[in-house]
Each structure stands twice: as structure tokens, then as C-alpha cells.
Structure 1
């Protein structure tokens, strides 16, 4: 079966530094996949290559079997890749309702003033309401985003990415800065997304990773050190030595 997202021999050089070193990777359809590694492993560089922020020095990026290596980030979003960032990319003066309606409106090609179109566009109303409900934002949909707790802001950012209707959703440390009590809820929401959305999670919280992921790739010094099911990765001696630490997760 064709992978949802795949890289073949991906290389990214910055002068004499090789940040991504011959990475071949497959994100299978419907999988909850985690990308882990120590600071400086090249995780964010790799995601930037997937999303078109960076152009690789060599190698290929495939989305649903189609070569997208030369496409810019806007074209990749239209093809079905959405992402979140380590730092929220939200319009603080908006409400969750306005934010989600804006993304849905743009995707439907309606643009302009989405709230002014709510009465005239049943599809916009239905899709916006469904997304707000899925991410448990109904009760705060009219609050200004900048006034909301940080955990809720992260939920809104993921909801906005999902509103673009991606086939591949890339989450760059979505739980960073989120209080412990809210982290599991956040990842549970992501884990419950429809199976036609393949998710790649970049995360440092290993408890969340091993709870969320059905497959894990370990990146060290820009290269894939190990890949497999969580239990196999946790037992890998090279992974323990390089990242998890002896005795971690068994």
C-alpha cells in the first residue's frame, strides 16, 4: 500500500553541517507515528523539509505516492499536509469560532468574511460546529483566544490544522508548555481523529509518546537510529544508550 507520506534519501545541508542525513521514512495511512530524539537530532528540520519550509539538498518527499519535493508550503497544504508549531500560530484577537470558521471558509473557497457567510453557507456552519465539538471547544467558542489557558490555545491550533482537512497532520511538540493535567486530554483528542488522517507527532514527553504512538522513529544526529513498534523501540539497546536512558520503559 502507498504510504501517506514518504521520504527517500532525504538530505539537508547547511554549509558544512548535515542536519538531515539520508533519511528514508514512511508514515503509513491512518497510523499514529511519533518522531523522537535528543535536542539537536534534526526533528524540526525534518518536519520543515516535509512541509516545504526548507528545500532538501538531496532526496525525495512523496505524499500519497506523488512527488511533492519541489512544491512550496502553500501547495503542500492544498495537497493535504497540515502542521502545528512549537509556538502557537494563532490570531489572539479572534475567537475559536472565528478561527475555525476562517480556515474552513478558505478551504471551501469562500474566503472573505466567514462569520458573515454563516447564515448563507450551511456547509460552513456544519463543518465549523463539528470541529468545535470534536475538540471540545463549544463552551469557549466565543471567548477571545488570547484570554484562554495555554492548553486550550494548543487545542485550538490543532483544531485549526484539522479544519484544513489534511490527510497528514504533523504536530511539533503540541504538549510543550501545557500543564500535566491537560496533556493527556490533548493527545487523546488527536488519537481519536478519523483514520483517514495520518499523524506524525514530534514530542519530548516519553510517557505521552508511548501512550499515543503505534509506531516510533528515533532520530539521532540527523539519521534514523531505530524504528518500530513502541515496545521494540523501548527495548533497543542503541536507543536506550542514545536517548531513553537505561531502564526507561522497561
Structure 2
């Protein structure tokens, strides 16, 4: 991985809320095509770090670059247009729209064709074709005309990732993609995450260690807002510090 160029780089990120330091001098490099997991116990500062990377928060100190461009002060939507897209831990979808309508709207907006999905879907062949590909890729074809509110939760998470991919990201931040998904719906989701395009660099935030160790080729461990260590999955699984603060004694099988 070291030979791959860095697409997203955080340098010395600090985030203070009053007297509390939520992110403490965090440095992180996401390589091109990476499958990089960010892990740590509750309260480690993972969500704060993602909010800094995506522009929801502005850091107290430090800088963020995307493909060599300083984006530290850019608004979230500007980062999306530059190729960084995030999914959310808590599902954020239009309940009354169908998956087909939702994706058509997203593709149309991304291609700056306006915010109405119906003319784009009816008259723009490129939008229709892109939606068809996404629906198939994310196992949504069978439910594409159902209102989102009636979809199984696993399908809603798949739709959320499909929306992110519709924005044609070069960097994708996956925020706990299997959170709340029932066991019976997880396999489809796990397979879809594993099959994400190789040219998309992925930063995964996840508590599910089975997913983390099956997906990631690089891992950063965050504790109390500070980077504890970083390495490949085998190094992390066998790191005494990580075992002590996070993995516990039941994770040795991942080594």
C-alpha cells in the first residue's frame, strides 16, 4: 500500500469543544484504492474525526487535503463535488420516494441537471442507465418501485450506499454501514461493501470486528481522540495495546 498515492490526508487535527479535546493531533493518510478502517471504543472520537473530514466541523487546528488540494475550510457540499462522499450511521432517506426515484434525483443533481427526477428519468438516457446499474449493483431492482419507508432496514442501508456511489466518489466514508441491520439481512450488505469499485478509496468506521477484519487492509485505532496505533489487520489483531483497550480477549481468532 505504501506505493499508492495518498488521496485524503489529515495533518495534526485538533477539535476542542470548550475545555474538551475531542480530537487530539490526529494524522491520517488514506491511500488510493484503500480499504481503511477507523476503529476504537465508544467515545474515541471517530464521529468527530469524520465530521472534520467531511466539513461538518471546522478543526481548531490542523489541515485536510483531498488529492493535494487543501479542503480544510470547504463546505460539505463542496467536498462532495470534489469527490468525497459520506454515508451516515443513522439512515437519512426520503421515505416517500422509491429507490429508483431517489437515485434518479441523486444522479441528476450530481450531473447538475436540476433537482427534479422525473424529466431526467424520462428523457435522459444516461441518468436512466446509471440508475439501472446502481439498482442492480446494490440488489435493489426487486424493490425499486416501492416507497423507501416500507423497505427492510438492510435494503435501506444498501440504498444509502448506492446514493453515495451515485455521486461518483473517489473517497467514500462509510459510517457504520451494518449498524442496526438484522442478522438475516447482513450478508447481502457485507457482500456489496466487499464489492465496491476498486478505484474508490474507502474509510470505514465500524464496531463490527468481523466486518472490519474481512474488509480492511489498513486500520487506524483511535482512543480518547488520539491515534493509538496503525497497521495492517494482522498487526492490529496482535497488538497488546489494542487488545487491552479495545479488542478484548475474544478477538484473537482474527490474528
Task: Please classify the TM superposition score into its range, dividing by the shorter chain length.
Answer: over 0.9
Match of 2:38 among 32, 35, 39: 35
Q: Could you say which residue in structure 1 is the equivalent of 2:158? A: 155
**Structure-1-length-normalised TM-score:** 0.97
1:247, distance to aligned residue in structure 2 (A): 5.0
* Alpha-carbon distance in 2 for matches of 1:208, 1:72: 31
The answer as to whether partners of 1:82 and 1:170 remain within 8 angstroms in 2 is yes
The answer as to whether partners of 1:217 and 1:227 remain within 8 angstroms in 2 is yes
1:177, distance to aligned residue in structure 2 (A): 0.5
* Alpha-carbon distance in 1 for matches of 2:86, 2:43: 20
Residue 171 of structure 1 pairs with residue 174 of structure 2:
yes
Please list, as runs of the form range in 1=range in 2, the aligned pairs for 1:78-157 lying within 5 A after superposition.
78-157=81-160
The answer as to whether partners of 1:29 and 1:198 remain within 8 angstroms in 2 is yes
Q: Could you say which residue in structure 2 is the equivalent of 1:19? A: 22
Runs of 4+ in 1 over 4 A off after TM superposition: none
Q: Could you say which residue in structure 1 is the equivalent of 2:230? A: 227
The answer as to whether partners of 1:240 and 1:247 remain within 8 angstroms in 2 is no
* Alpha-carbon distance in 2 for matches of 1:209, 1:95: 31
Corresponding residue SS for 1:188: helix
Corresponding residue SS for 1:189: helix
Q: Could you say which residue in structure 2 is the equivalent of 1:72? A: 75
Q: Deviation string for 1:149-173 (max 9, x for gaps)? A: 1111011011001101111111111
Q: Could you say which residue in structure 2 is the equivalent of 1:182? A: 185
Measured on the aligned residues, the alpha-carbon RMSD in Å equals 1.1
* Alpha-carbon distance in 2 for matches of 1:103, 1:191: 23
In structure 1, runs of 5+ residues without a counterpart are none
The answer as to whether partners of 2:99 and 2:147 remain within 8 angstroms in 1 is yes
Match of 2:201 among 191, 198, 203: 198
* Alpha-carbon distance in 1 for matches of 2:118, 2:59: 39
* Alpha-carbon distance in 2 for matches of 1:194, 1:174: 16
* Alpha-carbon distance in 2 for matches of 1:122, 1:67: 36
In structure 2, runs of 5+ residues without a counterpart are none
